[in-house]
Amino acid sequence: MASTEIEGLVQALARLPGLGPRSARRAALHLLKKRESALAPLLQALGAVADRLATCGVCGNVDTSDPCAICRDDRRDPRMLCVVEDVADLWALDRSRLFPGRFHVLGGRLSALEGIRPEDLTIDALLRRVAAGGIDEVVLAMNATLEGQTTAHYLAERIEAFPVRLTQLAHGLPVGGELDYMDEGTLAQALRARRPIV
Amino acid sequence: MASTEIEGLVQALARLPGLGPRSARRAALHLLKKRESALAPLLQALGAVADRLATCGVCGNVDTSDPCAICRDDRRDPRMLCVVEDVADLWALDRSRLFPGRFHVLGGRLSALEGIRPEDLTIDALLRRVAAGGIDEVVLAMNATLEGQTTAHYLAERIEAFPVRLTQLAHGLPVGGELDYMDEGTLAQALRARRPIV
């Protein structure tokens, strides 16, 4: 129906997460109809990123500079290091603006099922950063999944040897969570980690 | 958090229909991580379309050529003309591969509420196409909405004067539709337009 070029655009859009074939066509049509206000800006934005895309050699973040904006930011506390599985997790935590320190991206989590071993992640680089000193606290911010927690456990054992405070994100009821809708695992976690009311 | 370029990409993606801020970030991250397999192809596809984008001077379709691929296709029956509100409708009908003729895109539908009058649509161009002759049947394929049907009614009155067969899409139960889940309007339409079982 449409030309090869338009079909190519629909297919490229359909490969984005969150866009199926139907929404990719809608998005493509939107771009075609709003050439100046949608297609041109997206083209320009993609080009700008493509030209300068880099993986941060320090923390593993993706950015348009190496080291990334976070690692270069002097206002960030270099004594606090937050370890995350993925760049998406780094972005999520950074959006909250609650963590004042720097990050380390593992590039995944240990998984017997998928055959991901310690040497497949940036664990050696993490240990070198910790060994280099100047870090007071390492926050393990793995996902609250079985594999995430296995990874956190493994990292804890490796980092224990260093003179740093080792912490992990709290587990329990999410804000707004109603007990009636919580799974048993969350309830068990929330009960086990209950805290005294001061 | 991210650089201006990445933030710009997230914002350009977030303006696509079907992508909110969160899914735009996910899509951006996907592009950043898969530079060769996702970012480069999308950039290339957008560029290829942007360079050649055109609105068909005959039917109003958007394509990378003018006249569009459908109007240039000799295998299409020039004696059948299907009138649609929007390019998205043309694409939807064309995907079904059930209509062998050509199209005419009105560019919207009459709307007292939005102040869209006949002269705001490509109705004059449509009447010129019909008046030029060589067309046996005009199919009015407006949406089954109040405004779509008002538009169809208006077009029918204008086209009546010409020696063509004038038809419209059938209304009734959609395929797989269960009576229990249908709105009253659809049920009323299906009942009113009931057909004898031969």
Separation CA B31–CA B39 (nearest Å): 5
Beta bridge partners of A166: A138
Domains contained in chain B, number: 2
Residues A79 and A154 in one domain: yes
Identify the pLDDT of residue B198: 67
The stretches in chain A having pLDDT less than 50 are none
A183: in domain? no
Separation CA A136–CA A81 (nearest Å): 8
B145 near A CB under 8 A:
no
Identify the pLDDT of residue B169: 86
Q: Tell if the CB–CB gap between A12 and B45 is shorter than 8 Å.
A: yes
Identify the pLDDT of residue B194: 80
Which of A51, A71, A87 is where one domain is finished? A51
Identify the pLDDT of residue A189: 82
A30 near B CB under 8 A:
yes
Identify the pLDDT of residue A1: 53
A147: in domain? yes
Beta bridge partners of A116: A111
A5 near B CB under 8 A:
yes
Asked whether this complex has an ipTM greater than 0.85, the answer is no
Residues B87 and B161 in one domain: yes
Residue of A nearest to B7 (CA): A45
A63 near B CB under 8 A:
yes
A195: in domain? no
Residue A159 CB: number of other CB atoms within 10 A?
Answer: 20
- Structure confidence by residue, pLDDT tens digits, A143-167: 988 899 999 999 999 999 999 999 9
Separation CA B31–CA A28 (nearest Å): 17
What part of B 87-126 touches A (C-beta under 8 Å)? 87-88, 91, 94-95
- C-beta contacts of A158-163 below 8 A and 24+ residues apart: A158/A123, A158/A127, A159/A127, A159/A130, A162/A130, A162/A131
Separation CA A32–CA A151 (nearest Å): 46
Alpha-helical runs (H) found in A34-115: 40-52, 69-72, 87-96
pLDDT at B175 over 90: no
**Please, what is the average pLDDT of chain B?**
91
- Structure confidence by residue, pLDDT tens digits, B61-84: 999 999 999 999 999 999 999 999
A176: in domain? no
Residues B85 and B45 in one domain: no
Identify the pLDDT of residue A2: 64
Identify the pLDDT of residue A54: 92
Residues B91 and B163 in one domain: yes
Which of B37, B52, B67 is where one domain is finished? B52
Domain span holding position B37: 4-52
Identify the pLDDT of residue B130: 96
B133: in domain? yes
Q: Could you give the count of Cα atoms lying within 13 Å of A98 in the half-sphere of its Cβ?
A: 5
pLDDT at B1 over 80: no
- Structure confidence by residue, pLDDT tens digits, B18-35: 898 889 999 999 999 998
| CATH for B27 | 1.10.8.420
> Starting from the edge strand earliest in sequence, which strands make up the sheet with A101-105, in order?
A101-105, A77-84, A137-140, A165-168
| Preceding omega of B67 cis (within 30 degrees of 0) | yes
B131: in domain? yes
Retrieve residue B178's tokens: 């269960």
Q: Which residue is associated with the tokens 């209304």?
A: B171
Identify the pLDDT of residue B147: 92
Residues B32 and B96 in one domain: no
Residues A66 and A164 in one domain: yes
Beta bridge partners of B116: B111
Residues A138 and A68 in one domain: yes
How many residue contacts between A and B have a Cβ separation below 8 Å?
174
Q: Tell if the CB–CB gap between A62 and B32 is shorter than 8 Å.
A: yes
Residue A73, min C-alpha distance to chain B (Å)? 10
| Of the candidates B12, B133, B160, the residue with the CA atom closest to the CA atom of residue A50 | B12
| Of the candidates A44, A65, A38, A43, the residue with the CA atom closest to the CA atom of residue A54 | A65
Q: Tell if the CB–CB gap between A5 and B64 is shorter than 8 Å.
A: yes
Residues A74 and A121 in one domain: yes
Separation CA B64–CA A113 (nearest Å): 47
Range among A51-55, A188-192, B121-125, B191-195 with highest mean pLDDT value = B121-125
Amino acid at A10: V
Residues B32 and B97 in one domain: no
Retrieve residue A187's tokens: 């309830």
A64 near B CB under 8 A:
yes
A145 near B CB under 8 A:
no
Give the sign of the dihedral formed by CA A70, CA A71, CA A74, CA A78.
Answer: positive
Residues A41 and A138 in one domain: no
Identify the pLDDT of residue A4: 85
A22: in domain? yes
| CATH for A66 | 3.40.1360.10
Separation CA A10–CA A1 (nearest Å): 12
pLDDT at B95 over 90: no
Identify the pLDDT of residue A56: 95
Retrieve residue A194's tokens: 């209950």
B62: in domain? no
Residues B43 and B84 in one domain: no
Question: Which residues have a Cβ under 8 Å from the Cβ of B58 and sit 6 or more positions away?
Answer: B67, B68, B71, B129
Retrieve residue A59's tokens: 């923390």
B43 near A CB under 8 A:
yes
